Amino acid sequence: MRVPLLNMKAEYADLQEQINAAISEVFAATNFINGKQVTELEEQIAAYCGSRFAVGVASGTDALLLALRAVGVQPGDEVITVPFSFFATAGTIANVGAKPVFVDIDPQTFNLDPTKLETVISERTRAIMPVHLFGQCADMDAINEVAARHKLPVIEDAAQAISARYKDKHAGTLSAIGCFSFYPTKNLGAAGDGGMVITDDEKLDQTLRKLKKHGGSDDYYHDLVGYNSRLDTIQAALLLVKLPHLNSWSEARRANAAYYDERFAGKLETPHVAEYAYHIYNQYTIQVDRRDDLQAFLKERGIGHKVYYPLPLHLQHCFAGLGYKRGDLPNAERCAGRVISLPIHAQLTAAERESVADTMLELVSG
């Protein structure tokens, strides 16, 4: 059986009538920018996560960029983050003129290792940006403790973690500011780019709203040099249709993960779930030693898969000037060479996940 890594067509088909009606409403009103649906989505995301404020922006990348600006990161500052993540995590730091400073990860959770955090803090450090990778929250109590001791704001890169929880608190609400992505493949995906920033801080909320609209609270009057980073009304309308289904989709992903865990127990290195975490599996990521062989086998059998992320950020060509070399962050480097993600989406059928498991175990037993 051929099993795709993702199946956005099935997700759309389930909600096609509602989505089409919501988009038609936007066209009927012709309020494509800052329509009422944007405000409604902001209010619903804030209520869902348990934050005071939510600000819709043009992408998850912009969410990080605006968050960095909002907490006061400036050119020449340093921001600590992890090397094992999507490029935007470090790219946004560089794009505000700051220097990404990388700290190694926990090789089980793939998230920032708090025990190594203090070793990279300097007098130029201005913020800490942990990533809730693959849908599991980083160890935020330990991270926040170090941040508080050094009086540093924490920005959560929760692009892959909407609906994930840490000790019953939602991802994005565990620090000064949290950032989500609505890229189509995310657990809550739009039909294009989109993002959201959440916070309990009213001043940060006001700054974010200015930054996303060229730095002004009113048209043609600008307090800051900002950006054009508004969430489109059409995307907000679509996300309003999808949001009520997010919890059931997360539970479906968790059920699929539990099935894989049971089938693979003792035979494959399955995702580690920290005791504090409600993991929502934006990806189901295992670690293997002969990844190239596995990829070739899965491709031959028609089983969707992908490697997130094959080259750590500290070894990317564009960051060569930072001076990192292979061996500096061994956990991230080893994980980057061993991880592979399998189909886990909410629309995965029982027959499809059985086929994935059977195929994996056939290779292992062979």
Looking at residue 339, its pLDDT comes to 98
- Whether the model clears a pTM of 0.85, i.e. scores above it, the answer is yes
105-115: pLDDT as tens digits = 999 999 999 99
Looking at residue 217, its pLDDT comes to 82
Looking at residue 364, its pLDDT comes to 85
Cα 261 to Cα 145: distance, rounded to the nearest angstrom: 33
The neighbour count for residue 75, using CB atoms within 10 Å, is: 8
Q: What tokens appear for 60 in the block?
A: 């998850």
202-252: pLDDT as tens digits = 999 999 999 999 999 888 999 999 999 999 999 999 999 999 999 999 999
Burial label for 245, CB within 10 Å (0-12, 13-18, 19+), is middle
Q: Which residues of 160-195 are buried (b: 16+ CB within 10 A; e: fewer)?
A: bbbbbbbeeebbbbbbbbbbbbbbeebbbbbbebbb
Looking at residue 365, its pLDDT comes to 80
Looking at residue 110, its pLDDT comes to 98
Looking at residue 150, its pLDDT comes to 98
Sign, CA dihedral 179-180-183-187, equals positive
Residue ranges for the chain with pLDDT beneath 50: none
Looking at residue 366, its pLDDT comes to 64
- The structural domains of the chain, ordered by start, are 8-102+111-244 (3.40.640.10), 246-365 (3.90.1150.10)
Burial label for 196, CB within 10 Å (0-12, 13-18, 19+), is buried
Looking at residue 154, its pLDDT comes to 98
